[in-house]
A and B are shown apart, each in its own frame.
Chain A
């Protein structure tokens, strides 16, 4: 049954403020947060949320080192089921994307613990961007970062980083999350995010320098 097609338009009387009763709403026009009451009233609306987040979450899982397509699929399914089951716990003071990333992150970490494997390397989609960002605040290191740095090198350096730094760097520089969002995803204070990003960048810069010297 193609639930997603059913849910493209949805009639919901008076759930959204300022909306005429029984008006038809295009789900794609609604914000994530506004979609939640629709999903709670009609589960087929969940297809819209899945559609919005499947690619970003797939990419995130990939960056966290889940490489097998089968594992990714299973994990993604578990993540979305968990999101659906816990929809009522969503705190409206958060961004929905932060909340769903938090679930994805926690599920992935649990999955690693369950299957007892180490991440299969980190995928850096845009090493040039990282190269632009790393030397910020590290002027002396600027010269060391040039075009010779390839994504494999960055991947290796990222893999050598302690987990806490690696996660914030991925969220900050590859998922382009703000500090507040990272704070909400990882459930740590914003100040700690800043510290981890700063130290993570320093360590990554040092590791890259070492690898480039070799």
Chain B
């Protein structure tokens, strides 16, 4: 477009173009909508971030800390299982999305990236914890778990960890009125029926077992008998319940106390028997199934030396 030799002023040429092409200023509402949509997108990314935090929190709060000696050799092993591989990248993506949205609002560029990212993370954390307490974290975790078979929902992780009879862990529910002496019938998470020996259980364990709710059972598989499990401790199935730190601590204390009790009683009994029989044939009596579980040994090694 060569307009350099035109006698008109530049302003006149521009106004002629505006008139000729019927150019009009775009509506104020268009810009208002655009800006509002960007803010809405920012709010949405924060809201989704909060849901992500709620799910992350569900995983972390139900992270099997309380009973970690029952399932893992060390904290490191537990930590590797607990890293929320799915939700951490999702959260990072949402934080970046919030930065992008904020930066594209009319005035969002004025804030440094660290402020936008920091405020997004803090807001997501705050609302995420609120949503966790409202139970949304578990609901989303469960929903995604049922929609995607590959997704490691908290329920799936914990079920997989506790449905390990060979390693002395079982998850399932007591069959009501099935007691015969110290043996009860029990159906595990896979639907298999078990005979569970409850002779070594403390009254607390028995009361938890007999609620008929889903429970976690720590014990010993008796290979010499078909589908026979010797129970040493019973713990409630907590997935889906809000877990304050105090509840986690209580769970842990109860676990250590009950599992160590087996070890303590066995050591005392062993000492007594050794005193009675020492020198006769030199053979040491067994300590008992529950005192020999890996969990009892780990707890003794960690706390009782």
Binding site for B on A (CB under 8 A): 1-4, 39-40, 43-44, 46-47, 50-51, 54, 69-70, 73-74, 76-77, 80-81, 84-89, 91, 93, 183, 187-192
Contact among A40, A47, A189 with B110 in the assembled complex (CB-CB below 8 Å): A189
Report chain B residues within 8 Å CB of A87: 25
Question: B109, A3: Cβ atoms under 8 Å?
Answer: no
Contact among B2, B3, B18 with A46 in the assembled complex (CB-CB below 8 Å): B18
Question: A88, B26: Cβ atoms under 8 Å?
Answer: yes
* Max chain A C-beta neighbours (<10 A), residue from B14, B18, B25: B14
Contact among B11, B24, B111, B113 with A50 in the assembled complex (CB-CB below 8 Å): B11
Docked pose: A1 CA to B17 CA in angstroms: 12
Count of B residues near A, CB < 8 Å? 32
Question: B9, A4: Cβ atoms under 8 Å?
Answer: yes
Report chain B residues within 8 Å CB of A89: 26, 28, 31, 106
Question: B11, A189: Cβ atoms under 8 Å?
Answer: no
Report chain A residues within 8 Å CB of B13: 77
Contact among B3, B9, B106, B109 with A77 in the assembled complex (CB-CB below 8 Å): B3
Question: B26, A47: Cβ atoms under 8 Å?
Answer: no
Docked pose: A91 CA to B35 CA in angstroms: 11
Report chain B residues within 8 Å CB of A91: 106-107
Chain B: minimal CB distance from A113 (Å) = 19
Docked pose: A188 CA to B103 CA in angstroms: 9
Question: B112, A189: Cβ atoms under 8 Å?
Answer: yes
* Max chain A C-beta neighbours (<10 A), residue from B8, B15, B18, B19: B15
Chain A: minimal CB distance from B257 (Å) = 56
Binding site for A on B (CB under 8 A): 1-4, 8-19, 23-28, 30-31, 103, 106-107, 109-113
Q: A93 — nearest CB in chain B belongs to which residue?
A: B107
Docked pose: A183 CA to B111 CA in angstroms: 10
- State whether A74 and B1 are in contact (beta carbons under 8 Å apart), knowing that A4-B11, A91-B106 are contacts in the complex: yes
- State whether A84 and B18 are in contact (beta carbons under 8 Å apart), knowing that A77-B3, A91-B106 are contacts in the complex: yes
- State whether A80 and B23 are in contact (beta carbons under 8 Å apart), knowing that A91-B107, A188-B109, A190-B110 are contacts in the complex: no
User: Closest 10 A-B residue pairs measured CB to CB?
Assistant: A47-B11, A187-B109, A50-B11, A89-B31, A88-B28, A3-B15, A87-B25, A4-B11, A189-B112, A80-B14
Report chain B residues within 8 Å CB of A84: 14, 18, 23, 25
Contact among A70, A76, A86, A190 with B10 in the assembled complex (CB-CB below 8 Å): A76
Question: A85, B25: Cβ atoms under 8 Å?
Answer: yes
Report chain B residues within 8 Å CB of A85: 23-26
- State whether A86 and B110 are in contact (beta carbons under 8 Å apart), knowing that A2-B12, A46-B18, A77-B14 are contacts in the complex: no
Report chain B residues within 8 Å CB of A43: 15, 18-19
Report chain B residues within 8 Å CB of A3: 11-12, 15-16
Question: A1, B16: Cβ atoms under 8 Å?
Answer: yes
Chain B: minimal CB distance from A107 (Å) = 14
Report chain B residues within 8 Å CB of A46: 11, 14-15, 18
Docked pose: A113 CA to B23 CA in angstroms: 25
Chain A: minimal CB distance from B32 (Å) = 9
Question: B14, A73: Cβ atoms under 8 Å?
Answer: no
Question: B27, A88: Cβ atoms under 8 Å?
Answer: yes
- State whether A88 and B15 are in contact (beta carbons under 8 Å apart), knowing that A70-B4, A183-B109 are contacts in the complex: no
Question: B2, A51: Cβ atoms under 8 Å?
Answer: no
Q: A90 — nearest CB in chain B belongs to which residue?
A: B31
Report chain A residues within 8 Å CB of B19: 43
Contact among A4, A70, A88, A187 with B31 in the assembled complex (CB-CB below 8 Å): A88
- State whether A81 and B18 are in contact (beta carbons under 8 Å apart), knowing that A2-B12, A91-B106 are contacts in the complex: yes
Chain A: minimal CB distance from B22 (Å) = 11
Docked pose: A192 CA to B17 CA in angstroms: 39
Chain B: minimal CB distance from A37 (Å) = 11
Q: B104 — nearest CB in chain A belongs to which residue?
A: A187
Docked pose: A88 CA to B3 CA in angstroms: 28
Chain A: minimal CB distance from B74 (Å) = 45
Chain B: minimal CB distance from A44 (Å) = 7
Contact among A51, A73, A77, A183 with B17 in the assembled complex (CB-CB below 8 Å): A77
